[in-house]
Amino acid sequence: MAVSFEFSTAERVLFGAGMFDKEAASLAASLGRRPLVVTGRSLHRAEALIATLRKLGGDPVVFSVEREPDLDTIRLGVLVAREGRCDCAIGIGGGAVIDSTKAVAALVPNPGDVLDYLEIIGKGKSLPVPGLPTMVAPTTAGTGSEVTRNSVIVVPEHRVKVSLRSPYLFPKIALVDPLLTYELPAKLTASTGLDALAQLIEAFVSVRANPLVDGICREGISRAARSLERAVESPRDAQARADMALASLFSGLALANAGLGAVHGLAGPLGGMIGAPHGELCAALLPEVMAVNISALRRQTPESQTLLRYAVLAQILTGDSTAKPETAAEWVRSLVCNLGIPRLSAQGFTLELLPELIEKAKVASSMKGNPVVLTDVELETIVRAAL
């Protein structure tokens, strides 16, 4: 069978322990003189870089993001960058910080409002011109946003999360240093790590999977399987942290080029409805989506190549060369339980919200990559099982 695909990512990807302290200042200075430096609640990670940039003659403008970005956060960031005459953007933080950096940088030179370019609830226009050049450095190991072409934005009035999506959102430089994740609490290490695993698994069985993504997913899944629990239990285990930083990076590479599936198709709108952490929602849904997908494939297309992929996945996760597809879901369910991920009911989800969730999930962009079209009943089965 003929194979054809395209693969896109950040212009440069640098990985290594200690890479941030060694390279960040010179890389940032190469992008511009007046960067917008986007951080989380604390400036801790960025203070030394900001000081160095000032010594090099730069004039950084700081913008803090305290939660998952919403429309007002992005609008404020664009205003700050424009008023500060920023010529590039640097993001240091978790997925929320990196998504904010990418969205703000993309919108600064473009006309109109963020809603003009948002999918589903906005006008879905294409960005006409490239944004500010960006460098991002993740401090969590989960979203892979440092190498993706989208930025996830919360829209509270619509009770949904949607993406600003464009090739212009790929960062110019992705700087991935496992040392930046050492201070991540156990709870966040677990939930972000499971988000990365979910992205790797969904890309591996996606309808858009391709040979290049396959290799990336296999390597990432193997590293997450052997190291996620160890990173939670021993946060300064260098090998475990490096494995999870790579798994997260690979998950971003994979999803940007093969898409996702029902886990993220449900988690996106669910996060907008109940405001729960994205990684925890993905983790709670992951084994149940896997189980229902496998069941649906066995019923609809028992000779499906995707069932073979689930078997390969089970073999990678367990190390058992005879493992069956269902074993993959069982293994992940056990991992989620061992890591103490809360059920959906503990996050505030009630069955009264189920009809709204299903309707929103069916039109979510991530759902297009799921390896089988799920019925309303099957989607309900997934959510009830995750309660």
Specify the CATH number for the domain of residue 248: 1.20.1090.10
Residues 199 and 265 in one domain: yes
Where among 181, 199, 218 does a domain terminate? 181
What is the tally of structural domains in the chain? 2
Q: What's the half-sphere exposure (Cβ side, CA atoms, 13 Å) at 213? A: 30
> What span, in angstroms and rounded, lies between the C-alpha atoms of 133 and 112?
20
Where among 146, 181, 216 does a domain terminate? 181
At residue 2, the 3 state secondary structure works out as coil
- Beta bridge pairs of residue 151: 164
Residues 150 and 256 in one domain: no
The pair of three-digit structure tokens given for residue 325, joined into one six-digit string: 């597809």
Residues 231 and 90 in one domain: no
> What span, in angstroms and rounded, lies between the C-alpha atoms of 378 and 137?
38
pLDDT tens per residue, range 12-55? 999 999 999 999 999 999 999 999 999 998 899 899 999 999 99
The pair of three-digit structure tokens given for residue 242, joined into one six-digit string: 């490096």
The pair of three-digit structure tokens given for residue 204, joined into one six-digit string: 């591996």
pLDDT tens per residue, range 298-327? 999 999 999 999 999 999 999 999 999 999
CA dihedral 327, 328, 332, 334 (to 10 degrees): 10
> What residues make up the domain containing 333?
186-386
- Beta bridge pairs of residue 38: 63, 91
Per the CB < 8 A criterion, the answer to whether 170 and 149 are in contact is yes
Per the CB < 8 A criterion, the answer to whether 289 and 267 are in contact is no
- Beta bridge pairs of residue 63: 38
pLDDT of residue 109: 98
| Mean pLDDT, residues 171-196 | 97
Phi-psi region of 16 (alpha: psi -120 to 50; beta: other; left: phi over 0): left
CATH number at 150 reads 3.40.50.1970
Dihedrals phi, psi of 348, to nearest 5 degrees:
105, 5
Residues 346 and 244 in one domain: yes
Residues 144 and 276 in one domain: no
> What span, in angstroms and rounded, lies between the C-alpha atoms of 146 and 141?
11
Residues 193 and 78 in one domain: no
Quickly tell me which residue has 């649906």 as its tokens: 296
> What span, in angstroms and rounded, lies between the C-alpha atoms of 132 and 145?
17
pLDDT tens per residue, range 201-259? 999 999 999 999 999 999 999 999 999 999 999 999 999 999 999 999 999 999 999 99
Dihedrals phi, psi of 11, to nearest 5 degrees:
-65, -40
The pair of three-digit structure tokens given for residue 315, joined into one six-digit string: 């073999």
3 in a structural domain:
no
77 in a structural domain:
yes
